[in-house]
Amino acid sequence: MKVLKFGGKSLANGKGIHKVIDIIESKVNNGELITVVLSARGKTTDELETILNKAANSQCYVEELETFKKYQIADYENFNVDKEFETLDKLFEGVSLLGDYSKRIKDQVLSQGEVISAKLLTHILKGKGINANYTDSRELIKTDGKFGEAQPLDTLSKENVVNHFKKYNGTTVNIVTGFIASNTNNETTTLGRNGSNYTAALLANYLDAEELQNFTHVNGIYTANPDLVADAKKIEKLSFKEANELAYFGANILHAKTIIPLIEKNIPLRILNTFDHQNNGTLITAETNKKGIKSLSVLENVSLVNLEGRGLLGKVGVDARIFKALAYKNISVSIISQGSSERGIGLVVAADRAVEAKKVLEQEFEADFYKRDVNTITVENDVSVISIIGQDLSTFHKPYNSLIKNQVVPLLFNNTVTGKNVSLVVYKHQLHKALNVIHGEIFGVAKKINIAVFGHGLVGGTLIDQILESAKVIEKRKRIDLNIFAVANSKKILLNNKGIDTSWRSNIKEGNAYEIQDVIRFAEQHHLENLIAIDNTASAKFTDNYITLVANGFDLVSSNKVANTLSFDFYKELRVKLEEHQKQYLYETNVGAGLPLIDTIRLLHLSGENITRIKGVFSGSLSYLFNTFSKEDRPFSEVLKEAIDKGFTEPDPREDLCGNDVGRKLLILARELDLSNEFADVNIHNLIPEALRAGEAKEFLDRLQELDVVYEDIKSSQNPSHVLRYIGDLHGDLFKEKGVLDVKLVSVPESSALGQVKGSDSIFEIYTESYGDQPIVIQGAGAGAAVTARGVFGDILRLTEKG
């Protein structure tokens, strides 16, 4: 025989109850011998409890009760449960008059849900010609007198069950009420949380069933709750031991007491989906297929009670006193954790018992308060417990570090004696994010990186396209899921927690005005983890948001040079905040576009290598201008106009010719060497004659020929075989607080490294004590949207690896 148990969602009106009928009919037609255990239908139990509370508070409940009755008989005109409805009417009327109710009355009220459910299914099956027998489990399962959480009397209950099934041996299907039982005085009791599953497990045990099949609304047990973790995977097989741990630590479709009767007789439990009953579900047996982490489970409706006191240092037996005091008041402790000094002890109790637990402990430790051995006893509400079933403590640092990186700091953690399960207490509002972070870290699924891109011009737009094109390949190769959830310009933002697509350019036109807090709130509301903010603007104003973003869990990647060239005080403050919040800030493209310059300098400096000088051609735009002008016999204005037309310069080329951009890049490198230079310290040779520095861009462009005489004189005054290069030069005693920073136009031999630069390439010479006069040379494309975007992309990928 197989015992089938159907839950409330499976039995709800409409598709649910029809699927249940189909499953039972199919098994009967296949000649299977089955017994069916039922919960109350839909939200019946919650509705009855709501009506009961209204009645007790002298509130009008008639409308809710009528709605309840209509739901129970909807679509089944010939189905009669007048007796059950009359019972409810009398019970509610009595509660309303008294203004209160006992647990005994509550059990009587709630029991009607299962009775109606079982009678309806029996009625439907008989209508289909199936020989079904309604079985009231109150006649079978006998319990102690503890209403609301009754314990079965095994010997008597087993005898009743065996005799009943002998009597109805010829009956095709026994339809049994779950959850409810009765005491030896035949008063209705209930089996507590997960009671219907417990009823099914008891019947399976007493009848030596072949298998218990628990039909729910999901395809089995998952690595995490699929409603909270989209990437959760179904577990094909579990051991009883693992299932018992999952049940203890809050798995919704399991309960510890439902597992025990099955373990005693080694009866397999299969978790199946009513709405997809062809799926094999999850099979729970005495053995499992493989070792390792199996699942995350969540315990909610709990509170954390903290006991703190310096005077407890070295005292033995504090935890024993806690357990004894709480046990006297029947308050269960699900998790307890303490420091080795016993200075601080945290324990998790049911939320509705937390205040009482605090009072009990205050009484127990009254003398310790007087002696100041105990300082405080506090209660932290709005918390949840996450348990990692199968987590070895030796590898726990991986999910723990990921939590910290995502600004989820566990309030308490505890591991079992075997060291194979770890439980964390987190704030409830961080539960969703915490689950996704841990799941992504330990189950080998793609790690989701949530990206907000600010600025979608040439570089930003190219970057977005590159990410969208490469996302699938990166996910396959590196198990990294790059999700762009925000794209913004200075006025509008496009938000989508599931990620923008290739139509983002047209969609952002319909975007909304925003402030940076809107992005932060959106990430919090959608529990987005592993956040990265990308600054592809050239805005000084946007850098005001950096510290706010860091404080709210974002790593930073920037092609915007401004933040690193503002005041040295801001530069230091940003890095203090980055360290404080354990965030990263990468900006490889600030100097040299996609060239690996900043990383190289940083590694040399961190390794103790003494860098004595850095010089080179920092600007791809000016590299093209002077490479071409030096090589070709053409007027300077003509070459400049060509550079403008090819997009090598800004629309107003004075932004390039003034030298400030090169100055900023040189300052960034100086600060990488821990020099405290300010931008005002940079000696910049402005390439624009003073008479042309003011006015509109159009006026300047109309007067380009005025530059020809100036630069022809400079070019002609060079030594033979020399060329012009506009360079940045960091030199002086770089062991002091500040270095010397020069940005200037120089004439160099054509055969030198600087002289051989072609096109719009950049070149950087890094001189160190170890290399002497032979510098480390880094050369390549130093400008261009595609190159810069690829460099930003590289920084993003570096961050994903560091996380």
| End-to-end Cα spacing for the chain | 52
- Rounded Cα–Cα distance for residues 398 and 225 (Å): 21
Residue with tokens 């002696």: 371
Cα of 562 vs its chain's centroid, Å: 32
CB atoms within 10 A of CB 551: 14
Catalytic: 43? no
DSSP character string of 173-241: EEEEE-SEEEETT--EEE--TTHHHHHHHHHHHHTT-SEEEEEESSSS-BSS-TTT-TT--B-SEEEHH
* 493 three-class SS: strand
Pairing of β 180-183 and β 142-143? parallel
| Phi, psi dihedrals of residue 615, rounded to the nearest 5° | -145, 160
DSSP character string of 12-40: STTHHHHHHHHHHHHHHHTT--EEEEE--
Cα of 747 vs its chain's centroid, Å: 56
**What are 59's two structure tokens?**
């509130």
Catalytic residue among 665, 698, 715, 738: 665
Nearest to 458, CA basis, from 730, 785, 140, 701: 785
Pairing of β 180-183 and β 188-190? antiparallel
Element of type H or E holding 280: none
Beta bridge partners of 237: 283
- Rounded Cα–Cα distance for residues 17 and 116 (Å): 13
Nearest-5° Cα angle at 439, 256 to 424: 55
- Rounded Cα–Cα distance for residues 277 and 633 (Å): 82
Query: 254 vs 214, 221, 312, 499, CA distance in Å?
Result: 10, 9, 39, 34
- DSSP annotation of 152: B
Query: 46 vs 43, 49, 263, 615, CA distance in Å?
Result: 5, 5, 31, 74
* 411 three-class SS: coil
- Work out whether the CA dihedral 96, 102, 105, 111 comes out positive or negative: positive
- Rounded Cα–Cα distance for residues 214 and 20 (Å): 12
Torsion of CA 423, 214, 178, 37, to 10 degrees: -170
- Rounded Cα–Cα distance for residues 124 and 140 (Å): 23
Per residue, what are the HEC states of 82-145? HHHHHHHHHHHHHHHHHCCCCHHHHHHHHHHHHHHHHHHHHHHHHHCCCCEEEECHHHCCEECC
* 774 three-class SS: coil
Greatest Cα pair distance in the chain: 118
Beta bridge partners of 413: 424
**What are 277's two structure tokens?**
């009953």
Q: Which residues participate in catalysis according to the annotation?
A: 665
